[in-house]
């Protein structure tokens, strides 16, 4: 067993990174578009982690109730969700409040001088 993936690298990449990560990225974008806070996004990521864990169990014979691998999945999903939220929030702040803020990078904004 590997400390990052349970069954194999291919199923980890397919289910956790591509499917789950894509869903988490879109969830982060949706949470930012509705101006939801990080707590709600965290709840969504925990629920999405349950779905990813179920897919590992149903498709690749992984263990369903494995807290360690659930935590690994949730951490990967949280990274994608945070990225989606920050990209969207930086765009929102620079477009909707362009009189006060400007983008300083794709993930951040700053107050205009």
Question: How many angstroms separate the CA atoms of 30 and 39, rounded?
Answer: 14
**Residue 83 placed within a domain:** yes
Q: How many domains does the chain have?
A: 1
**Residue 23 placed within a domain:** yes
pLDDT at residue number 2: 83
Enter the tokens of residue 110. Answer: 């700053």
User: What average pLDDT does the structure give for the chain?
Assistant: 94
**Residue 22 placed within a domain:** yes
**Residue 105 placed within a domain:** yes
**Residue 36 placed within a domain:** yes
- Could you read off the pLDDT of 39-80 as tens digits, one per residue? 999 999 999 999 999 999 999 999 999 999 999 999 999 999
**Residue 2 placed within a domain:** no
**Residue 21 placed within a domain:** yes
Domain that holds residue 89: 9-111
């Amino acid at each position: 067993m590997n400390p990052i993936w349970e069954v194999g690298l291919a199923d980890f990449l397919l289910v956790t990174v591509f499917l789950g990560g894509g869903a988490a990225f879109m969830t982060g974008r949706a949470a930012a578009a509705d101006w939801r806070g990080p707590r709600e996004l965290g709840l969504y990521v925990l629920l999405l982690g349950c779905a990813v864990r179920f897919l590992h169990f149903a498709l690749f014979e992984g263990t369903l109730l494995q807290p360690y691998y659930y935590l690994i999945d949730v951490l990967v999903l949280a990274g994608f969700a945070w990225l989606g939220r920050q990209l969207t929030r930086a765009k929102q702040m620079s477009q909707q409040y362009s009189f006060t803020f400007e983008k300083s990078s794709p993930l951040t904004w700053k107050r205009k001088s």
